[in-house]
Structure 1
Amino acid sequence: MVMPRRLRRNPLCRRTDLVQAWTGLGLLLAALAATPAAMVLVGDAAHRHYARTARHQAATRHHTTAILLQDARRHPEPGSAEARKTRYPAEVRFTDAHGHTRTATAEVQPALTKGSAVRVWVGADGTITDPPLSPGEVRSRAMGSAIIAALGVHATAAAAHAAACRVIQRRNLAAWDTAWARTAPRWTTSP
């Protein structure tokens, strides 16, 4: 392993090599310590946000019946697993929460005929919308946010280590230039 070798005493090891090794070790330990805290804080905040969003959506959307105004497209492979999941856009007529009859485009199952009844979600403004977030969707979005937070902590630590290494490398190159400026005249003397 490279890290322990760099931390041992060595006559060829410069002080900047030790600084670089200890910086890397410190950032690794800091990232490992900060990851759980970041995941809990971000995951909890995201869960509260998406739970509030789900409650708002449930309060402002309602499920209603709509009538198809045209035949829905047929799936190329009727009866397949893909056909059961696929939805096609079709014109529908429905009544919104205020009692107004509206027409819109909704995603429906394939091969439904004109006049068929389908269930749609309608928003407070009378437009067809997605259903409210389910508890599983809230949970998966919160988990996704927590994972992104963990990746962010590690990316920040990696960026900090790269920046520190760059600064140390520039310092080493400047020291080598200074040392070479003192040594070069002894090596390049003309006869």
Structure 2
Amino acid sequence: MFKLITVRDIVRIPPNRFGGDLNEVAAEILKLEYEEKITPNLGFIIAVVDVIDVGIGKLLPGNGASFNHVTFRVLTFKPDMYEIVEGEVVEIVEFGLFVRLGPLDGLIHVSQVTDDYISFDIKKGTLLAKETGRVIMEGDKVRARIVAVSIGTGGSRSGKLGLTMRAPYLGKTEWIQDKILGIEPERKPKEDKGDKRRPPKESKRKRKRRR
């Protein structure tokens, strides 16, 4: 998920920066161009870590700047399909919950929280499992699997992640710990509604005999 990637690009160095250290100048320019941006190939770029090499610059007619091939490394956040991730619940809404995963938030739809029926408590801002009584609230730590990735371009919120917790050893950290220890959640007993079936109707022949 967090990766160090080596990148090669052309950097335009303006004439007023020719007297400075080229590595430092290139690093400053690259930070402005790359950091806190999203690209399909690199994911979310957190930081330009260092500049490895600055090539000999080329001058173009009518442009006083120098164009240099620069090799550098970036620290990125690039989620992969089916990857297991851990994060903190930062928001709960009627249709699911949002989990903070580094620079991006992932969405877990209510249908992907547990196998239990989930309801939203609007007053408390929590999700409640009907049978087990388990509760999820803001600040909970959860483990989930990435099932959908949509990486856009530009700002830090243009990427979307879909997550699920409906698998063994996924969910709230407390649930996972209970699973490891063999502790099963207490399920609410089902209500005994009794036999509401109607008694069989008597046939017309039996009614005539009685008369």
With normalisation by structure 2, the TM-score equals: 0.19
Instruction: Determine which structure has the larger helix proportion and give its number.
Output: 1
Instruction: Determine which structure has the larger strand proportion and give its number.
Output: 2
- Of structures 1 and 2, the one scoring higher in RCO (CA 8 A, sep 6+) is 1
With normalisation by structure 1, the TM-score equals: 0.21
The structure number with the bigger radius of gyration is 1
